[in-house]
Structure formats: structure tokens, C-alpha cells
């Protein structure tokens, strides 16, 4: 069996759920005839037909509004954002209708909104963003960000089966760079559960998405210096797996958070607050952050490289914390 790419894992997960449940359908710009901007939906129009693979106008608010209505009527829509940056056009529908529906009148909205996020591909300020915190701040939503092909497939299937709206962030830098052999059997990855990618005993880094690989590379360097870094992949940002986070902090006593999102208002601040509130007495140093800069994502490759967190940034923070 040849390894499956991160992109193909997402495609397989959607395909299998459409085979399993005739209520599942996908809608978005160029998802049908073209097969998606990144070819995630390639072949689906031919297999499932135009009533389940729907090419839409260039209107994210219409895409999400139609998906909410379809979910109300018993269907399970998957709304694709060609780039996740464009999700801001549908902010009202997502935060004021889908997210609040169950609270207001008990109606779930079993809908997935998915799309390519993140930088590293020189896409510029309108095709490289990490908009997760706009939605992590919104009660009623779930937000997931897989880093591996296994999780990409398992989380898309879990999201489709969920009874409430899920924002599914797929990192475009990982689409064809990450590969692994996947089980033949049906499986899901639970939403709201982090995973320890690398056990450690000296300090812990909490991260997600493409930054998992930055953390793992840094951990390989640090072990040569006698620093054993535990790497936790959050996978789910809302709900957050506080149990795994706090248990690791209690064992390692030193922690920092790494994310590609910008610094101010990023999830690192929320996690730091949770740790200080619930595990302060276990800390042997400050909770630190390694993040992108507080600027739009640059288009220039050298500027984007400077903007994004890198292995040396992680090494510097880990060394400082280890010696604190």
C-alpha cells in the first residue's frame, strides 16, 4: 500500500461519508467540474452527481447560508471555502445563525465549513491566513486543525457526523508534503482530544497544524543538548483538551505554546490563562509564546519566512525555559 497524502486523506474521508450517508453533500466554488482549487473534490461530481456536488457562485455568504438551510432540512452539508481567508464573507451566517441555533431554539446545524488555511506557500495576505480565533471565540462552534493524514481523514469524518457546526482548517502547506499509510477500516478521530506526538520529561510545547513539524524538528535538536521536549498536538481548538494539557504541565512543569496565528489574541493567550488558573502551583517558569508577528501575512518569500515561527525560534524559547 502506498502512503496517502494529507490532501487525499481529506478527499477519502469526504468520499466515504458521501457513500455512507446520502444526506451528505458538498457545495462551493469550483468543487464540481473543476474538482476543487486543490483537487480535494476531484471525481466526486461524476460519482455522486450535480445534486450532491454543487458548484456555486462566488459568494461565501450564500454558500454558508444555503448550507445552514439545508442542515435545518435534515441534510449534512460540507461547505468549501476556496481559501479559508474568504470565510470572513460568511461571518454573520456562521456566528449569528449556525453557532447560536441550538441555544436559541434547540436546532442543531450539522454542517462542516472546510478550506485551506495557513502560510508557507507565498500566497500573500488574502490566501495565507489563520482565522481560527474568530471562531474559537464563538460558543456553539467546533474548530479543528489536523496535522497528519490520519487525523485529516478521521477528523473530517467526525466533523461530518457531528450534530453541530464544525470549522475544519486544513493546512495547505501539508497537502502534498505529509504522507502516511492509513487503516483500511472505517475510523474517526474524536473532536476535542489532543495527542502527545513526542513524550518528554523536561518541558512541553503545545501546538497544532503545520507547527507540529516545526516542534518535532526542534525536539530532535534539543535532545542532543540533553533537553527532552514533549510535543502535544492540540488537533481540536474548540473544544480544547484541557485535561491533556494540564496533565502534561503537571508532569513537565515548564510549558510554551507555538502557533502560526498572529500573537495578539491567539490561542496561546487563552491556553496560558487556563494553565495559570488551574495548574499555577506546578509551574517552574513562565508560560511563553512562539507565534507569528502581529502583521498581515507578507507576500514576499523572505518576509514571509521572517514572519512565520521557525525552528530557531522554538530552540531559543525552549533553551531559555529549560534554564529558567
Query: pLDDT tier at 54 (50, 70, 90 boundaries)?
Result: very high
Q: Are 81 and 124 found together in one domain?
A: yes
Q: Are 126 and 214 found together in one domain?
A: no
Q: Please, are residues 56 and 27 in contact by the beta-carbon 8 Å criterion? A: yes
For residue 179, what pLDDT is reported? 96
Q: Are 113 and 159 found together in one domain?
A: yes
Give the CATH number of the domain where residue 28 resides.
3.40.50.970
Over residues 188-198, mean pLDDT: 98
As a whole number of angstroms, the distance between CA 93 and CA 261 comes to 23
Over residues 274-298, mean pLDDT: 97
The domain boundary, picked from 180, 215, 247, lies at: 180
For residue 2, what pLDDT is reported? 85
Q: Are 168 and 241 found together in one domain?
A: no
Q: Hey, what long-range contacts does 97-100 have (CB within 8 A, 24 or more apart)? A: 97/65, 97/68, 98/64, 98/68, 98/71, 98/140, 98/141, 98/165, 99/138, 99/139, 99/140, 99/141, 99/165, 100/140
Q: Is residue 173 included in any domain, yes or no?
A: yes
Position 1 pLDDT exceeds 80: no
DSSP secondary structure code for residue 148 in this structure: S
Query: pLDDT tier at 96 (50, 70, 90 boundaries)?
Result: very high
Reply yes or no on whether 122 is catalytic: no
Who contacts 295 (Cβ-Cβ below 8 Å, separation ≥6)?
A: 262, 307
**Segment 118-132, tens digit of pLDDT:** 999 999 999 999 999
Query: Annotated catalytic residue: which of 127, 137, 171, 259?
Result: 127
Q: Is residue 122 included in any domain, yes or no?
A: yes
Q: Is residue 189 included in any domain, yes or no?
A: no
Q: Is residue 186 included in any domain, yes or no?
A: no
Who contacts 204 (Cβ-Cβ below 8 Å, separation ≥6)?
A: 229, 230, 231, 232, 248, 249, 251, 252, 254, 255, 256
Q: Are 203 and 237 found together in one domain?
A: yes
**Segment 242-251, tens digit of pLDDT:** 999 999 999 9
Q: Are 88 and 216 found together in one domain?
A: no
Position 255 pLDDT exceeds 80: yes
The domain boundary, picked from 180, 213, 247, lies at: 180
Instruction: Provide the number of structural domains found in the chain.
Output: 2
According to DSSP, the β-strands at 76-80 and 112-117 are parallel
Q: Are 145 and 43 found together in one domain?
A: yes
The domain of 239 spans: 195-322
Give the CATH number of the domain where residue 284 resides.
3.40.50.920
DSSP secondary structure code for residue 209 in this structure: T
Question: For the chain, what is the mean pLDDT?
Answer: 97
Q: Are 70 and 206 found together in one domain?
A: no
Q: Are 148 and 218 found together in one domain?
A: no
Q: Is residue 188 included in any domain, yes or no?
A: no
Q: Is residue 187 included in any domain, yes or no?
A: no
Position 35 pLDDT exceeds 80: yes
As a whole number of angstroms, the distance between CA 87 and CA 192 comes to 22
Q: Is residue 185 included in any domain, yes or no?
A: no
Q: Please, are residues 256 and 288 in contact by the beta-carbon 8 Å criterion? A: yes
**Segment 197-226, tens digit of pLDDT:** 999 999 999 999 999 999 999 999 999 999
Q: Are 103 and 240 found together in one domain?
A: no
For residue 75, what pLDDT is reported? 98
Q: Are 79 and 143 found together in one domain?
A: yes
**Segment 104-119, tens digit of pLDDT:** 999 999 999 999 999 9
Over residues 37-64, mean pLDDT: 97
Q: Please, are residues 6 and 176 in contact by the beta-carbon 8 Å criterion? A: yes
The fraction of the chain above a pLDDT of 90, given in percent, is: 99
The domain boundary, picked from 180, 209, 241, lies at: 180
Q: What is the pTM of this model?
A: 0.97
Over residues 172-196, mean pLDDT: 97
Query: pLDDT tier at 294 (50, 70, 90 boundaries)?
Result: very high
Q: Please, are residues 307 and 298 in contact by the beta-carbon 8 Å criterion? A: yes
Amino acid at each position: 500500500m502506498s502512503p496517502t497524502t494529507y490532501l487525499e486523506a481529506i478527499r477519502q474521508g469526504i468520499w466515504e461519508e458521501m457513500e455512507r450517508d446520502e444526506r451528505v453533500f458538498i457545495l462551493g466554488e469550483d468543487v464540481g467540474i473543476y474538482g476543487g482549487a486543490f483537487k480535494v473534490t476531484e471525481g466526486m461530481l461524476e460519482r455522486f452527481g450535480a445534486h450532491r456536488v454543487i458548484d456555486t457562485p462566488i459568494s461565501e455568504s450564500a454558500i454558508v447560508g444555503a448550507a445552514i438551510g439545508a442542515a435545518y432540512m435534515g441534510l449534512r452539508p460540507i461547505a468549501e471555502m476556496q481559501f479559508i481567508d474568504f470565510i470572513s464573507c460568511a461571518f454573520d451566517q456562521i456566528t449569528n445563525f449556525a453557532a447560536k441555533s441550538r441555544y436559541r431554539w434547540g436546532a442543531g446545524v450539522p454542517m462542516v465549513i472546510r478550506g485551506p488555511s495557513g502560510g508557507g506557500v507565498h500566497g500573500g495576505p488574502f490566501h495565507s491566513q489563520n482565522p481560527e480565533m474568530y471562531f474559537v471565540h464563538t460558543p456553539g462552534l467546533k474548530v479543528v486543525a489536523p496535522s497528519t493524514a490520519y487525523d485529516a481523514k478521521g477528523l473530517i469524518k467526525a466533523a461530518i457526523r457531528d450534530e453541530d457546526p464544525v470549522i475544519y482548517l486544513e493546512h495547505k502547506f501539508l497537502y502534498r508534503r505529509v504522507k502516511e499509510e492509513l487503516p483500511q477500516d472505517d475510523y474517526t478521530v474524536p473532536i476535542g482530544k489532543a495527542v502527545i506526538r513526542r513524550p518528554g520529561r523536561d518541558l512541553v510545547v503545545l501546538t497544532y497544524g503545520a507547527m507540529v513539524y516545526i516542534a518535532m524538528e526542534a525536539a530532535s535538536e534539543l535532545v542532543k543538548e540533553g533537553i527532552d521536549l514533549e510535543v502535544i498536538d492540540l488537533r481540536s481548538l474548540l473544544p480544547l483538551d484541557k485535561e491533556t494539557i494540564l496533565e502534561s504541565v503537571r508532569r513537565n512543569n515548564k510549558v510554551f505554546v507555538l502557533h502560526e496565528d498572529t500573537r495578539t489574541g491567539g490561542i496561546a493567550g487563552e491556553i496560558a490563562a487556563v494553565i495559570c488558573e488551574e495548574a499555577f502551583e506546578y509551574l517552574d517558569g513562565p508560560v511563553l509564546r512562539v507565534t507569528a508577528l502581529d502583521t498581515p501575512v507578507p507576500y514576499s518569500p523572505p518576509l514571509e519566512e521572517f514572519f512565520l515561527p521557525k525552528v530557531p525560534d522554538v530552540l531559543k524559547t525552549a533553551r531559555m525555559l529549560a534554564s529558567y
